[in-house]
Amino acid sequence: MEHSHYISTEVLTLETLQEIISEHKTLALSEEAKISIQQCRDYLDQKMASNDAPIYGINTGFGSLCNVKISNENLSQLQENLVKSHACGTGEEVPSAIVKIMLLLKIQSLSYGHSGVQLQTVERLVDFYNHDILPVIYTQGSLGASGDLAPLAHLSLPLLGEGEVFFEGKKVHSSEVLKQFNWQPIVLQSKEGLALLNGTQFMSAYGSYILLKAMKYSYLADVISAISLEGFDGRIEPFDELIHYVRPHKGQIVTAKRMRELLEDSQIIAQPKAHVQDPYSFRCIPQVHGASKDTIDYVKKVFKTEINSVTDNPNIFKNEDVIISGGNFHGQPLALALDFLGLALAELGSISERRTYQLISGLRGLPAFLVDNPGLNSGFMIPQYTAASIASQNKQLATPASVDSIVSSNGQEDHVSMGANAATKTLRIMENLERILAIELMNASQAIAFRQPLQSSEFIEMFLKSYRAEVPLVKEDRILHYDIENSVAFLNSFMIDLEE
């Protein structure tokens, strides 16, 4: 298949994931993946035929019903019942971009040949991905421990011709789409429902999506802070490599180097300064932004491992001739990482809002609220209120979800990760950060205009020229809501290369 990404045992990186998404690649199973899936299914069928013993989730009930044996003629019904009964999602609908990643990651996890699914089940998921048939999934319902049960049940319903999907811009019943493509509903075999529902693909898809944005906005936070520094007539000395090599945290060194590069050949930074020091929100950009970069790097490692893992239960090892019921569906590694990521992103927003506050304070020769004729004009007084409100909401959202376990399934599932809640709130923190940085850019671009005729660096002047095409200078009061929205859209449209 042309322009396809082949699902195989090769390591899937976040950068590859970004490439698949941005280049609208289709998916195809490699021959190796097809063989692994088929051999595992054949092994399970042979095991069932020759063995009467109860095997959890394959010929038993689920959760605290694990000791109830199910007769062979009811195994398909057992799996179908599982999918239907677990489709208990509620709340907002999961964004389609994240649903698409969930499909991809579920296909990836099933392709290793330790889950016991039919090949046609995985191929139908590939068809859904390639034709943009996106199951309607809800944000609430997963404890992030037996896997993301409720969200993955909604992901799986369309395989059975049940539930709803988004297709060609409309929400329709999945049975209509199956008819349109002349596809028969999948008849689930033993273990399949459990393989589909156990897994961390809701948390993993959210985390992957947030990380791709976080990597971009970590870079943009540096760019926007450099413009703020210029607008504030700040000093270059805090970015000198000497002080960072004596406290050599990687993120700190990278941030300081980037700031020096962004400000290279700037007339504003080179002019003599009347002040000896800058406030922390400017002076400590390398230390604060750098710590968030190091956090993003750590969380990337966690998610890279996870999206290349088998996370359903039980796991089938045909070569060793064992089927083991364990806990690979438990989302604790992701829950902790998502909470940590939320903290790091909230801090980027927190320091950004402080720079915005400094810029409107009438310091360093800047007019109060960055506008001519303050008094008659309120200028940039209120965007800072908005940024402060959002930064404060981020502090509230950054309370960790992962410490908040709750008992389920009659005490059988007595410790859960709450990684799904960590995922959905970390996405909100990420979206809030976009808005806070957009407001800082509005203020910074206004402040730097008061430094003319002095010019900043070539890169910053080009960046500001592009931005000014979307958001003109504010000469007198106007409705700034539109400027905030246009600033967010400008940052969203900005493309960067993600480095490994």
pLDDT tens figures, 327-339: 999 999 999 999 9
How far is 319 from 311, CA to CA, in rounded Å? 19
Q: What percent of the chain has pLDDT over 90?
A: 85
**Res 57 pLDDT > 80:** no
Per-residue confidence (pLDDT) for residue 500, from 0 to 100: 43
Kindly report the pTM of this predicted structure.
0.96
Per-residue confidence (pLDDT) for residue 499, from 0 to 100: 58
Q: Tell the CATH topology of 4-199.
A: Fumarase C; Chain B, domain 1 (1.10.275)
Per-residue confidence (pLDDT) for residue 1, from 0 to 100: 41
The DSSP output letter for 402 is T
CATH architecture of 210-493: Up-down Bundle (1.20)
Which range is least confidently modeled, 2-6, 145-149, 194-198, 386-390? 2-6
Active-site position among 6, 56, 138, 357: 56
Q: How many CB atoms lie within 10 A of CB 56?
A: 17
Mean pLDDT of 27-56: 91
- Domain extents in the chain: 4-199, 210-493
6 or 489, which is more confident: 489
How far is 174 from 177, CA to CA, in rounded Å? 5
Would you call 56 a catalytic residue per the annotation? yes
How far is 211 from 217, CA to CA, in rounded Å? 10
Query: Could you report the per-residue pLDDT of 233-269, keeping only the tens digit for each?
Result: 999 999 999 999 999 999 999 999 999 999 999 999 9
Per-residue confidence (pLDDT) for residue 417, from 0 to 100: 94
**Res 310 pLDDT > 70:** yes
Q: 450 vs 136, 247, 277, 287, 374, CA distance in Å?
A: 50, 35, 21, 28, 14
Mean pLDDT of 373-381: 83
Tell me the chain's radius of gyration from C-alpha atoms: 26
